[in-house]
Structure 1
Amino acid sequence: MRLVMWNVDVLSKSLIQIIARRKATGVVADSVETMRRAETRLSGHKLAMNEVEEIVQLPAFSGSKATSTENIKLPEAASQQLSSYVQALAAMYNSNPFHSFEHASHVTMSVTKLLSRIVAPDNEQATTSEASLHDHTYGITSDPLTQFAVILSALIHDADHPGVPNNQLIKEGSAMAKAYEEKSVAEQNSVDLAWQLLMDGQYADLRRAIYVNESELARFRQLIVNVVLATDIMDKELKALRNKRWELAFAEEGRQDEKALDSTNRKATIVLEHLIQASDVAHTMQVSSHTPDLLQFIHCILTNISFFSIGISTESGICASSWKCTKRMHKVGPKKTPPKVGIKVKLGFWIFMLFL
């Protein structure tokens, strides 16, 4: 319950920022019926994978003075519904050694911290105008809805995770893998479950706090889809697409025929996706009670890579502590991951991280 309340507090503060910004910019709300139709349209039976966009359109800079959040409170009904929603999300998480609600909360904490550094970098706090900061952060700092969507994405990104990687689900021919056409299986499942829950009638006031018109709803949905699916870092096709987009966005010459706003939004999309990717593995970069085992595992990779490459058994004594972790991670499901396959999976992950 402590983690639930912490997440509720983080999301509440972000929602208050949304309300404050909405008041400052004079956002006009659409009718209840218009929003109902828009929500129904976005909740259709299409694959989230097919909704991923190269560019998420963020709002252009508005010179309106931001409203102080001191006198703004989240409506009581929305606050209670937010608490209920987070509790329901927590219940969706399985008792996995890694893909758990505790992990999701850690990713949420990391995302929140990184966003706070984007919004208020030390060397610009006193001298940079709001307009300049908007440009410097590709518009992320000017849109609390974007920040809220990324934080919520962190919290939902592993909901109902089965405890094994996508490639294992595909090999086993699981119903989930077939339903999502063997692409970003766990990630699409998490998006669908969290979105269906949010669209439930009991969360109407919460939804009206998050968005009040079709434009905000569309941006919120697009951010959720792009950011959650960005956590699938092992899909080769997706990785190739992201690398190509990075080169296009940050090439020195750039695209001469592209509008400045599209260029900025492409960069913002890349930054947001990389932000959650970094947060998803932030635990590997932090000192903890498991640090000695982690360092031992990295040492094994660097000094015994030839042994790993031929799939040597852990009975030889190489990286036994790592094998214990791998064994726990892959015990869920109708089939077990053999030792050398489990080690190769972990090795592949660390090679990816070492050269990221």
Structure 2
Amino acid sequence: MTTHKRKSRSSTANLYNQLTEQQWETIGLKDGPIAAQTDTAAIVEQLSSILECRLADVVMQRRTREKIKQPNTDGHLASALTPVCRNQIRQFVSCIGGLYRDVNYHKFEHAAHVTISANKLIDMLDERGSGSSKKGRVRSTTFGIANDAFAKFAVVFSALIHDVEHQGVPNRQLCIEGDALAILYNDKSVAEQHSIHVGFSTLQNPIFSSFMSTIVPHPEDKIEFRRLVIDIVLATDIASQERQELFHSKWKEAFPSRASNNPAMRRHSVGTPLPPFYEENNQLGMKSTLHVNCATIEFNNANENKTIAEEMLRVNVVLDLIINAADVAHTMQSWENFVIWNANLYRELHEAYRNGRGESDPGPEWFRNQIGFYDFYVLPLARRLRKCGVFGEKLGQQFVTNAKAIRRRWLEEGMATSREILKDGEAHYHRRMHQIRGGNSSIIADTDDDTQTERNKSFSHSGNRISASSIASEDHPQAACFPEKTTYIHSGSEDKKRIDGCSFIPREELCQTNCDITAIQATGASYPRAKTA
């Protein structure tokens, strides 16, 4: 083994350890122990180290079928992942990063913050014995998640892809506009379903074959991985009333209140209907089913099997909590983080409104709406992180304490902070419009930020680059959609991406001529869509 390869593996493990061991409150801060990055190459290195080490855990666990308690080491990476696989992980992260659009909030930097936060959350899981079952087995306080390397990898993978190709407008706006994606996904979790499609389509590109086969070496692994990722990403659609009601029902069933701590008693009490997740048949030998999102779990009516099914429901709920907490991590980390991402969100919503893609001006109620968001979403989420018990009492309380502190400071300083955010948002909007009028079709997040300019250069549309996300589309499974000319537009209420012409290249030809990653590192402006009348 060359010295260079040994150093590369060592640096990857060291970076992963630094990202994982940093304090929850410091994640995403530019002056933190691991500075937040806006440089694309640096983000790719950070996220690649997380995916590499989490996937190495999966491989080692498969080999040993024993619990992994030690963090990754240089030797761990070297023995678990091939150089080809490790290189493809970096290429995959780079490609996904290029498919994130240059919007103000739902951009690659957001994906990085969510992925690093999700990685930290699964590292914070507090595994300890908690009583024993009738069979004498020690119960897991994390319901097995802390020792399930595959589920933990699915979490960080989902975090990476969860907002890819986001247009910078809410799902409701896409439905109002009759966007092609809204029609395709029947107005249901439009952006989330599209991100899942883009993520898996990219992963299935032949140039990522080693990475793909390492994740899912067997058909049953592929089924389980897709189920996990689909469930996790769809859980991030917090604006969907239907999904929120589903989650609340799952939460009540998985973690009943102390006033009614026995699930069996609560189910069979007078006047209490059977939970929607269970279909029971009391005849001896008949099976029952537990429905969790896209999965249906069958189990016998014997208490032991039913307990397993109920624990699977708890796992599903905890994974939902983890990705939702990571998605809004800035609201329960630090004041500095909150202000940064709050300003980014306002920029995005304000720009959409000014461009005719928003129902109302977000400015007048910005101060008050943040309080409402804390009261009706963030604080209940933080309390569930504590109540579910997987983080232990001390760490679980930390989420609640941080969220309350940020809300309290917003009450004190939020009016003044809001005025600054609104002023900055308007100035930022005019800078972007000036760029468009100047003929620059590749919009960056902030013209005053040199690092954003560098990112823009690294994602610049160069020639006819192909978007890996378009490979193996539903209508053309053996073809890739290749844009002849693409223009990215940020003004008006019309479609933001116009394709002047598309042709299809057979997959075989693509594999022969475009195997190099540079051929598919598409920008956010290069993902083709079908022409619309």
Match of 1:338 in 2: 360
Shift of 1:337: 3.9
Per-residue Cα deviation, 1:76-114 (whole angstroms, up to 9, x for no partner): 111111111111100110011110110011001111111
Per-residue Cα deviation, 1:45-71 (whole angstroms, up to 9, x for no partner): xxxxxxxxxxxxxxxxxxx46597634
Larger radius of gyration: 2
Per-residue Cα deviation, 1:209-250 (whole angstroms, up to 9, x for no partner): 112112221111111000000000111111111111111112
Match of 1:54 in 2: none
Per-residue Cα deviation, 1:122-153 (whole angstroms, up to 9, x for no partner): xx49xx9xx97872211112221110000000
Match of 2:160 in 1: 155
- Compared CA separation, residues 323 and 157, structure 1 to 2 (3 A): closer
- Compared CA separation, residues 326 and 262, structure 1 to 2 (3 A): same
Per-residue Cα deviation, 1:263-313 (whole angstroms, up to 9, x for no partner): 11110110001110011001123335465689xx9xxxxxxxxxxxxxxxx
- Check conservation: 2:60, 2:80, Cα contact below 8 A: no
Q: Which letter maps to 2:117?
A: S
Structure 2 Cα separation of the partners of residues 355 and 114 of structure 1: 17
1:182 aligns with 2:206: no
Match of 2:102 in 1: 95
Structure 1 Cα separation of the partners of residues 354 and 44 of structure 2: 25
Match of 2:480 in 1: none
- Check conservation: 1:5, 1:83, Cα contact below 8 A: yes
Match of 2:500 in 1: none
Structure 1 Cα separation of the partners of residues 61 and 337 of structure 2: 42
Match of 2:175 in 1: 170
Per-residue Cα deviation, 1:8-44 (whole angstroms, up to 9, x for no partner): 011000111011101103xxxxxxxxxxxxxxxxxxx
Question: How much identity, in percent, do the aligned residues show?
Answer: 29
- Compared CA separation, residues 332 and 160, structure 1 to 2 (3 A): farther
Match of 1:104 in 2: 111
RMSD over equivalenced CA pairs, Å:
3.1
- Compared CA separation, residues 340 and 23, structure 1 to 2 (3 A): closer
Match of 1:232 in 2: 237
Once the two structures are superposed, the pairs formed by residues 265-280 of structure 1 within 5 Å of their partners are 265-280=312-327
Once the two structures are superposed, the pairs formed by residues 42-61 of structure 1 within 5 Å of their partners are none
Match of 1:83 in 2: 90
Once the two structures are superposed, the pairs formed by residues 321-336 of structure 1 within 5 Å of their partners are 325=347, 327-328=349-350, 330-331=352-353, 335-336=357-358
Greater helix percent: which structure?
1
- Compared CA separation, residues 65 and 266, structure 1 to 2 (3 A): closer
Shift of 1:334: 5.5
Q: Which letter maps to 1:269?
A: N
- Compared CA separation, residues 342 and 99, structure 1 to 2 (3 A): farther
Structure 2 Cα separation of the partners of residues 293 and 229 of structure 1: 25
Match of 1:264 in 2: 311
- Check conservation: 1:140, 1:268, Cα contact below 8 A: yes
- Check conservation: 1:20, 1:67, Cα contact below 8 A: no
Q: Which letter maps to 1:102?
A: E
- Check conservation: 1:8, 1:83, Cα contact below 8 A: yes
- Compared CA separation, residues 204 and 225, structure 1 to 2 (3 A): same
Shift of 1:346: 4.8
Structure 2 Cα separation of the partners of residues 285 and 81 of structure 1: 34
- Compared CA separation, residues 166 and 214, structure 1 to 2 (3 A): same
1:203 aligns with 2:225: no
Higher relative contact order (CA 8 A, sep 6+): 1
1:3 aligns with 2:12: no
- Compared CA separation, residues 293 and 228, structure 1 to 2 (3 A): closer
1:144 aligns with 2:149: yes
- Check conservation: 2:114, 2:159, Cα contact below 8 A: yes
Structure 1 Cα separation of the partners of residues 194 and 339 of structure 2: 34
- Check conservation: 2:100, 2:108, Cα contact below 8 A: yes
Match of 1:23 in 2: 63
Q: 4+ residue stretches of structure 1 with deviation over 6 A?
A: 131-134
- Compared CA separation, residues 111 and 198, structure 1 to 2 (3 A): same
- Check conservation: 1:233, 1:239, Cα contact below 8 A: yes
Match of 1:353 in 2: 377
- Check conservation: 2:169, 2:349, Cα contact below 8 A: no
1:248 aligns with 2:253: yes
TM-score by length of 2: 0.49
- Check conservation: 1:21, 1:67, Cα contact below 8 A: no
Q: Which letter maps to 1:104?
A: A
Tell which deviates more after alignment, 325-334 or 193-202: 325-334
Q: Which letter maps to 1:287?
A: S
Structure 1 Cα separation of the partners of residues 174 and 104 of structure 2: 17
Greater strand percent: which structure?
2
Q: Which letter maps to 2:91?
A: S
**1:284 alignment partner, one of 328, 331, 334:** 331
Structure 2 Cα separation of the partners of residues 192 and 268 of structure 1: 24
| Structure 2: gaps (5+ residues) | 1-40, 268-300, 381-533
